[in-house]
Amino acid sequence: MLKTVTELLPRQAVILELESRDKKEVIRELAAPLVQTGLVTNEEEFLTAILRRENLESTGVGLGVAIPHARTDSVTTTLLAFGRSGPGVDFSSLDGKLSHLIFLIAAPEAAKREYISTLAKLSSLMRRDEVRIGLNKAKNVDDVYAVLEQNDHS
Amino acid sequence: MLERILLIVEDTPGLPAAAAWTLQLARALSARVFAVCVIPERTGGRSRTSTNVEERAWSLLYEVEDDAFAMNVKVSLLLEQGDPLRRLCEICTSYKTGLLVAGVGSQVPLADLVRHSPEPVVFVNSPKED
């Protein structure tokens, strides 16, 4: 059974106001709490894997959303981080818009199925107006979880 | 030089062959692949079924992306809704792609695609099973 989004998202990996404005720095900022969980075995390798994908792909999926992601053995399980940026961050979205809602996904190399399914579920969720509006309005971590739980039917 | 290739991504048995052919060509030419899935316009509101269709579409797109990454090929993913033929032609024009690739079993009839596409169309046959 595929885990829900909130099951993959540690509470400390929800950042309601990202400080960074630059894509690489935002990825570092989102990765930091995941490293603290102890589920990232090699921080530099983890960041390199995420940034390598960024060089080949635009992980800005449009509608103000970006989902940087990677499969790497520097994580022991599939993990999510979520951050919100008021001013927005340039993730080279095809629609030309800055990203305000950013999810970072990392999964072990062997967990391809869960990785693809999580990416697909999150991408689908984030196309829904009510989810984006809810996440933009969330005042605290509980609100973020409530929006995701309400809309994630896996 | 061909710099951008549009690959039609659909839940068909022809997708793996079409994707593999497109990624090999893109790698050889250092071209970017635009992997595009068009979901026919739904009638009515969002339902569990439409959510599942959308998730399946994203899964197919991310499978292509994962293969592209392994081959060091640049890729952009697009999920669109609307009339597939019309949307594909519009995307060809707006992203200035130079070639459109489809696989066997496409929901868009070959004749219509060839007639209306603003650029050359390649249909990739799947290898025959023994």
Match 């597939």 to its residue by tokens: B84
Q: Are A127 and B63 a contacting pair at CB < 8 A? A: no
Residue A16 is classified by DSSP as S
Gap from B51 CA to chain A (nearest CA, Å): 7
Band of residue B22 on the pLDDT scale cut at 50, 70, 90: very high
Nearest chain A residue to B71 by CA distance is: A56
Whether the Cβ atoms of residue A112 and residue A55 lie closer than 8 Å to each other:
no
pLDDT of residue B49: 62
pLDDT of residue B44: 52
Shortest CB distance from A121 goes to which of B46, B48, B55? B55
Dump pLDDT digits (tens) for B63-95: 999 999 999 999 999 999 999 999 999 999 999
Max distance between CA atoms of chain B, in angstroms, equals 44
Band of residue B42 on the pLDDT scale cut at 50, 70, 90: low
Gap from B89 CA to chain A (nearest CA, Å): 17
Nearest chain A residue to B54 by CA distance is: A124
Predicted TM-score (pTM) of the model is: 0.93
Cβ pairs A/B, distance under 8 A? 51
Cβ–Cβ contact B112 with A under 8 A? no
Band of residue B123 on the pLDDT scale cut at 50, 70, 90: very high
Match 């630059």 to its residue by tokens: A22
Burial class from Cβ neighbours inside 10 Å (0-12, 13-18, 19+) for residue A60 reads: buried
Cβ–Cβ contact B78 with A under 8 A? yes
Band of residue B23 on the pLDDT scale cut at 50, 70, 90: very high
Whether the Cβ atoms of residue B62 and residue B77 lie closer than 8 Å to each other:
yes
Regions of chain A with pLDDT less than 50: none
Gap from A73 CA to chain B (nearest CA, Å): 15
Chain A neighbors of B9, CB-CB under 8 A? none
* B contact test, residue of A50, A56, A115 with most B CBs within 10 A: A56
Task: Specify whether the backbone of A115 is left (phi greater than 0), alpha (psi in -120 to 50) or beta.
Answer: alpha
pLDDT of residue A152: 85
pLDDT of residue B130: 56
ipTM, two decimals, is 0.92
B residues 13..32 contacting A (CB < 8 A): none
Residues of chain B above pLDDT 70, percent: 92
pLDDT of residue B105: 87
* A contact test, residue of B66, B67, B71, B75 with most A CBs within 10 A: B66
Beta-strand pair A60-62/B99-103 = unpaired
Beta-strand pair A99-107/A65-66 = parallel
Give the mean pLDDT of B52-65: 95
Shortest CB distance from A119 goes to which of B62, B69, B78? B62
* B contact test, residue of A57, A95, A128 with most B CBs within 10 A: A57
